Structure 1
Amino acid sequence: MNKVGGPRSTEEIQASTRVDLNRALNKLIEPMQKLCFQAAEKQMPACPDWTSVAIYPKILELFSHMSARVMVGPELCEAWPAIAMKYIKSVLAAQGTIRKKYCPVLYWTAYYLSPEVAQVNKARRQAAQLVRPVLEARQAAYASRGAEVEKHDDFIQWIMDSYRASGKTATPDDIVQNIFIVMFASMHGTSFIALQSRFSLVGTPDALIEIRKEIKRVSRNDLKDSPVHSSALRYDPYTFKDGLHVPAGIVLSFPNLRYNTDPTTGLVPEAGIFEGKRWLRRRAEFNTSKFQFASTAEDAFDWGGGPHACPGRFMADVTIKLILICLVTKYDMKLPEKEGERPSESRRFMDLTPDTSTPMMVRDVQG
C-alpha cells in the first residue's frame, strides 16, 4: 500500500493499540455506542414498512462513525468518517489500477505519474490538515505543562505519546497514516463478521428473540461466529524438528478455516450449522476465560498467537457487538423473497467472505 501513498505499520501504532487502546476501551464503549445509533439515524432510510436496503454499506458507515471517536477524539469525530472513507477508497482504487497498468519494477513511478495516486495523496493531506489543530494544541499544552497535561483517550494522543517516548515528534501526517493502518486492518473484517452474524440471525428467529431480551438486561452479549485466518511472512529461513525447511521470503498461512471446520479435530462440532450458544456451552464446560470471541489459545489461532496476536482484537469484539446491538434492537430484517435462503459466502484460498451485494428487507422494530 505504501507504494501508492497508503499507510504502513509502525512500532508506535502497535504499542498504541496493544497498550493504550485496550486500557481505555471500557471507557470508550458508551460514546462509541452513542455514535453508532446516531449514525444509524442518519444513514438508514425511514423503514415504517419493509424496505429493501443494501445493508453492507450501512454497516461500513456505522463502523466508520463509531470508530472515529477512538481514532480522532470527540472534537473531530463528526468530520473524520467522510475523509477516512475517501482515503481508503482512493488507496484501494489506486492499488487495482497500478497492478493493471504498471509492471512491478515500475510501481515506484506511479507515485509521481498516476492520477489515482494523486487522489490518495490529496485525501491524505486533507486528513492531516484536519488533525493538525488538535495535534498542535496538545503538543503545545505538553510543552508548557509537561506530565501534568490532560490526557485524551484517542489515537491522536496515544500516537503522539508513543512518538515522544521514542524521542521523535509526530507530524500530522504521521498521526493520520498510523490511524489509517488501524482502519485498514479492522474496517472490512469487523463489518464482514457483523454482516455474517446478521444473516445467521435471520434464519434463527428464536435466537433473535433471546438476544433482544439479553440486550435489554446488559449492554453486550457473548455471541461468536465466523472463522478467520492469519498469515505471516518468514524474514529468515527456518527448519523444523522434522526437517521441513522454510526459506526466507516465503508466505506462511495457518489454515484456520479448514482447521475450525474439520470434523476430525472435534473443535467445532457441526461447524456448518449456526448455533448461537455453542461457545457459551463450551465456556460452561471449561471456564469463562476460554472460547471468548477475542480469545487466543493453542487451538485458537483466529487472531494469531502469543506476542504476535492481533492487538486490536478487543476493539473488534466491542465494535461488532455494538453494530449488532444497533441492528437488532432498531430493525427487523429478512431476506428478499426471491432469495429465500441465506446468501452463501465466497471462498478464495482461505478467505471466507459474505455476500455484500444482496440487499435485505428492513423495517423499524414493531411495538
Structure 2
Amino acid sequence: MNQLLDRLLDQSMLTAVIIPLLCYYIYAKFIQNSHQVEYKRYELHSKDGIQSKWNSLDDVLRLNYHKDRNFIYQVEQPHKDIVVIPAKYVDELKNLPESKVNFLEDINERFLGEYNKMLAPGGLEDLTLTHAIKNDLTPKLGIIMQEMQEEISYAFEGTVGKCKDWTPVSPQAAVMRIIALVSGRIFVGPELNRNDIYLSNLVGFAVRTWMVTTSMRRYPKWLRPLAQYWNPEVGKVEEAIATMGNLLKPLIIGRGEMIGSHNDMLAWSMATCPQEHREDLRWQSMYQLQIGTASIHVTSTTVTHLWFDLAARPDYMRILRQEIEQLMATGGVLDKTSIPRLRKLDSFMKESMRINPFSVTGFSRKVMQDLTLSDGTILPKGITITTPVSQISMDPDIYPNPEIFDGLRFYKLREQPGNETRHQFVATNKDCLNWGHGPRACPGRFFANNEIKLIMAHLILNYDIKLPDGEMRPRNVWTEGAIVPDGTRQVLFRSRELRE
C-alpha cells in the first residue's frame, strides 16, 4: 500500500512539474512569438559552419545609417532580434505610457532580470529607487557635495597617490575604486563605504549578474524557471545579497527612528519604501546592489574614457585648469552653484561621451501593443525597438567633422545667443540619447554629472597626466554592443605640488 502511494505521489509531483513546463513551452514557442516583423534581418553569428558577413552590430548600424538613415531593419542579438528605428521617431515615442512602450520590460528581457536580481526588489512596478533619486538625491546635491569632495581626496590618495615623477596608473582599477568610494559615501554613509568587503561586493555584483545572464541564456525560455535552481551563478548572486544584508544590518537597526538625520540613499530608501520593507534586510540589500549596478559601472566607464582622452590631448589641461582656477578664485569652492559654470569641462565631457557612448544603441523599448506611428509605420506588439546611437553621434549633418575630437565643440555652441542652457553634458534629445530621453531618461545623471566634474577637477588641479611615450589613445573594446575602455592600458600621472 505504501509503495503504491509513493508511486502515485511521485507521478503527481512529476505531473505538477511537467505540465506547467509544457504549457510554458507551447506559449513561448508558438504564441508569444506570433507577432512577426517583416523587416530585413541581419544575422551576426555563424550558422551551420557559415561565417556571418557582419562582424558586429555596429557594422550593420553603420551600413544602414550611411545608405538610408530612415531605413527600419532588425538585427540578431543574443536575447532576441532588435528592430532599429530612425531617431526621428524618438520624440513621438518618448512620452507614450509604459503600457505601450516599456523601458524596464526591455531591460528585464535583455538581461533576464528575474534571475539575476538586477531589477528593483519589488519588481518592474517598484519605483522606489527612481523616486529616491528624483525627490531626495537630486534636490540635495548641494548638501552632499562637501562629503563627495572629502571622499575624492581620500580616494585619490589611496589609488593614484603622490607621484614625484611620471608614475604608471591603471585607469580602470583606480577609477572603479574612486567611484565606488565616492558613490558608497552617498549610498550608505561614512560608517560603511570604506569597508573592503562592502566595496568588493558592490563592485562585483554587476559582474555576478552578467554571469547569471550569460549562463541562463544557454537554456531555452521554457526551461529557465527550473534551471535557475541548479545554476551556480544564481547562487553567487544570492550570496552577494546575503553579504550586503549582513553589512547593512547594524546600520538599519542603529538608525531606527533617526532616519531623517542621515543624507544617504539608505536613509532615503528606508523613509520612502513600503513600511514592511523598512527593516527588511533582503529588500534593502537588493536596493543597494541595484544602485551600484545602475551607477558605478556607467560612471566609471565614463571617467576612464575621460582620463584616456585627456592623457591623449594634454593641451586641454591648461584650458580646463585655467577655467577651474578662475572659478575658485572668485568663490573659493566648487559647489552646486559654481559647478554649472565649468562650461569648458562640461563640453570636454560631452565630447568624450559623443566619441565613446555607453552603447552603440540607445532608447530601447519593448513594444507592449501594436502601434501605428504618425507616418503610418507599424510597430508590432512584442518587438524591441532601439536607435543607432553610435551612428547619430558621428553624423556630419549633426556634428561637423565628427571624426575629430573637439573638446570645446559644445562650449562654442553654448556661446551662441539662445544656446546658453543647451548642449550640456546632462542634456537629452533625439540627437543625443546616451542618457535616454523623455520621462525614462536616466534620473541619476545629475548626480553623475557633479561626481564626474569633482573627480576631474581634482585631477586637473593636482596632477599632470599623459600617455606613455609613443602610445596613441587606447582603442575601445566592444562587447555585445557596449563600448568600454581597454582595461589593460595605463596612463602616467605626476603630482603638481611636488614638482612646483
TM-score if structure 1 supplies the norm length? 0.87
Match of 1:92 in 2: 210
Distance 1:131 1:239 in 2: 48
Match of 2:41 in 1: none
Amino acid in the other structure paired with 1:85: V
Is residue 172 of structure 2 the alignment partner of residue 56 of structure 1?
yes
Amino acid in the other structure paired with 2:324: I
Amino acid in the other structure paired with 2:412: R
Match of 1:322 in 2: 454
Q: 1:97 to 1:51 in 2, by over 3 A?
A: farther
In the alignment, structure 1 segments of 5+ residues that lack a partner are 143-148
Q: 1:209 to 1:176 in 2, by over 3 A?
A: same
Amino acid in the other structure paired with 1:355: D
Distance 1:154 1:163 in 2: 14
Alignment partner of 1:301 out of 423, 433, 436: 433
Match of 2:283 in 1: 174
Give how far 1:346 is off.
4.0
Match of 2:388 in 1: 255
Distance 1:112 1:329 in 2: 52
The question of whether the paired residues in 1 share the 8 Å contact of 2:363 and 2:437 is answered with no
Per-residue CA deviations over 1:39-91 (Å, capped at 9, x if unaligned) read 12112365332233221111111110000011112222222323312433333
The question of whether the paired residues in 2 share the 8 Å contact of 1:257 and 1:350 is answered with no
Match of 2:149 in 1: 33
Amino acid in the other structure paired with 1:8: L
Q: 1:230 to 1:187 in 2, by over 3 A?
A: farther
The question of whether the paired residues in 2 share the 8 Å contact of 1:22 and 1:315 is answered with yes
Amino acid in the other structure paired with 1:37: S
Match of 1:114 in 2: 231
Q: 1:158 to 1:87 in 2, by over 3 A?
A: same
Distance 1:2 1:342 in 2: 35
Amino acid in the other structure paired with 1:245: I
Distance 2:444 2:392 in 1: 23
Q: 1:86 to 1:195 in 2, by over 3 A?
A: closer
Is residue 319 of structure 2 the alignment partner of residue 210 of structure 1?
yes
Match of 2:5 in 1: none
Amino acid in the other structure paired with 2:460: V
Give how far 1:31 is off.
0.8
Give how far 1:215 is off.
2.5
Distance 2:207 2:310 in 1: 30
The question of whether the paired residues in 2 share the 8 Å contact of 1:4 and 1:110 is answered with no
Amino acid in the other structure paired with 1:115: P
Q: 1:24 to 1:106 in 2, by over 3 A?
A: same
The question of whether the paired residues in 2 share the 8 Å contact of 1:230 and 1:304 is answered with yes
Is residue 273 of structure 2 the alignment partner of residue 157 of structure 1?
no
**Counterpart mapping for 1:16-31 below 5 A:** 16-31=132-147
Give how far 1:124 is off.
1.0
**Counterpart mapping for 1:64-103 below 5 A:** 64-79=180-195, 80-99=198-217, 102-103=219-220
Distance 1:117 1:45 in 2: 38
Per-residue CA deviations over 1:314-355 (Å, capped at 9, x if unaligned) read 0111122122223333332222235x2212234567543332
Distance 2:203 2:479 in 1: 25
Distance 1:180 1:269 in 2: 41
Per-residue CA deviations over 1:137-165 (Å, capped at 9, x if unaligned) read 33x316xxxxxx7342211122122214x
Distance 2:493 2:392 in 1: 35
Per-residue CA deviations over 1:16-37 (Å, capped at 9, x if unaligned) read 1122111111211221121122
Match of 1:352 in 2: 483
Is residue 481 of structure 2 the alignment partner of residue 364 of structure 1?
no
The DSSP-based 3-state class of the residue aligned with 2:375 is: coil
The question of whether the paired residues in 2 share the 8 Å contact of 1:255 and 1:350 is answered with no
Distance 1:64 1:186 in 2: 9
Is residue 368 of structure 2 the alignment partner of residue 235 of structure 1?
yes
Alignment partner of 1:197 out of 295, 303, 306: 306
The question of whether the paired residues in 2 share the 8 Å contact of 1:3 and 1:108 is answered with no
Distance 1:176 1:201 in 2: 37
The question of whether the paired residues in 2 share the 8 Å contact of 1:87 and 1:123 is answered with yes
Alignment partner of 1:135 out of 252, 256, 263: 252
Give how far 1:123 is off.
1.7
The DSSP-based 3-state class of the residue aligned with 2:138 is: helix
Distance 1:359 1:333 in 2: 11
Distance 2:160 2:212 in 1: 29
Q: 1:109 to 1:337 in 2, by over 3 A?
A: farther
Percent identical residues: 27
Match of 2:424 in 1: 292
Q: 1:212 to 1:99 in 2, by over 3 A?
A: same
Amino acid in the other structure paired with 1:169: H
In the alignment, structure 2 segments of 5+ residues that lack a partner are 1-111, 121-125, 329-333
Give how far 1:176 is off.
2.2
Match of 2:62 in 1: none
Amino acid in the other structure paired with 1:150: G
Q: 1:347 to 1:323 in 2, by over 3 A?
A: same
Amino acid in the other structure paired with 2:456: L
Distance 2:117 2:455 in 1: 27
Give how far 1:13 is off.
0.9
Alignment partner of 1:310 out of 427, 442, 447: 442
How many residue pairs get matched?
354
Distance 1:42 1:110 in 2: 42
Q: 1:108 to 1:41 in 2, by over 3 A?
A: farther
Per-residue CA deviations over 1:107-148 (Å, capped at 9, x if unaligned) read 33454323332222112111112112222333x316xxxxxx
The question of whether the paired residues in 1 share the 8 Å contact of 2:466 and 2:491 is answered with yes
The question of whether the paired residues in 2 share the 8 Å contact of 1:12 and 1:163 is answered with yes
